[in-house]
Copies of this chain bind each other. A is one copy, B any other.
Amino acid sequence: MDNRPIGLFDSGVGGLTVLKQIQKILPRESVIYLGDTQHLPYGDKSKEAIIRFSIENTKFLLRQNVKAIVVACNSASSVAVEVLRETFKVPIIGVIEPTIKCISRKKTSSVLVIGTMRTVRSGVYQKKLQELNLGIEIFGKACPLLVPLVEEGAFLNKGSLLYNALVSTLEYYLGEYRDRVSHIVLGCTHYPAIENEIRFVMDGVELIDPGECAALELKEILEKNDMLSEEKSRFEKFFVTDLSEKTVEVAKIILQREINIEEIYLPES
């Protein structure tokens, strides 16, 4: 038994979709969330910068006495998880490896990974799947417009001009993969917010949410190490490195409820 909270970090508030999955799958766990909004989005940043930011984020969460770290951000998961494991002692769960595990349990011959430019170009999903030698064909497509479309709430009013722009954009990014893939990995924390629209454009394709995969992996690790919480009243705390009006708005769009967010200053190492 270990009643300390889970630490969760992301480049912004998109990782709140991962928080949702953790709270759903592990309802007794408390969570401390850190959004490194000062450096948002990580998808545009270099590998070296993302590693530097990830180390500072982890140090902050450890100072809050967390028992495990979930790296919600795909960009950070793809470049920083190994370094974090070498540097810190607590369990570090990224979103990539648990997703690979999820995929390997599905009956699929062709998967499309969508995400930011960095996640897709890193080819991290492709490489890790190839190591497993399952004969799955894997495609990657960078979709940089989807995050701002989610943040503008384009999915909220069906039939509006912005909703139409969202559907056109999804058709632009995904149309060529119709009838070519059976599964799509939502390789960016924002995408679960538009899963209905993605299903509409890609009728019959099954979606894989890395946030859900990571929450399942976290559960397995906590169980194995006898680290599950037995608290009946869990808590949640939200921190960001730069608190703007937009941060508050996007958090509300993604979580569909109001939360209290505190700003903290993290030095660059």
Q: Which residues of A contact B (CB under 8 A)?
A: 37-40, 44-46, 49, 117-118, 121, 144-145, 147-149, 151-152, 160-162, 164-165, 168-169, 171-172, 175, 242-247, 263, 267-268
- Report the Cα distance A64→B194, complex, angstroms: 47
Say what secondary structure dominates the interface of chain A.
helix
Q: Give the Cβ gap from A262 to chain B, nearest Cβ, in Å.
A: 13
**For residue A247, which residues in chain B have a CB less than 8 angstroms away from its CB?**
44
- Given contact pairs A37-B45, A145-B148, enumerate 11 new A-B contacts (beta carbons under 8 Å): A38-B39, A38-B45, A45-B242, A118-B244, A145-B145, A148-B148, A160-B172, A161-B169, A162-B168, A162-B172, A164-B168
CB-CB nearest in chain B for A45: B242
**For residue A145, which residues in chain B have a CB less than 8 angstroms away from its CB?**
145, 148-149, 152, 165
**For residue A149, which residues in chain B have a CB less than 8 angstroms away from its CB?**
145
- Report the Cα distance A49→B263, complex, angstroms: 12
Q: Which 6 residue pairs of A and B lie closest in terms of their CB atoms, listed nearest first?
A: A161-B172, A165-B168, A165-B165, A165-B169, A148-B148, A162-B172
- Report the Cα distance A152→B169, complex, angstroms: 11
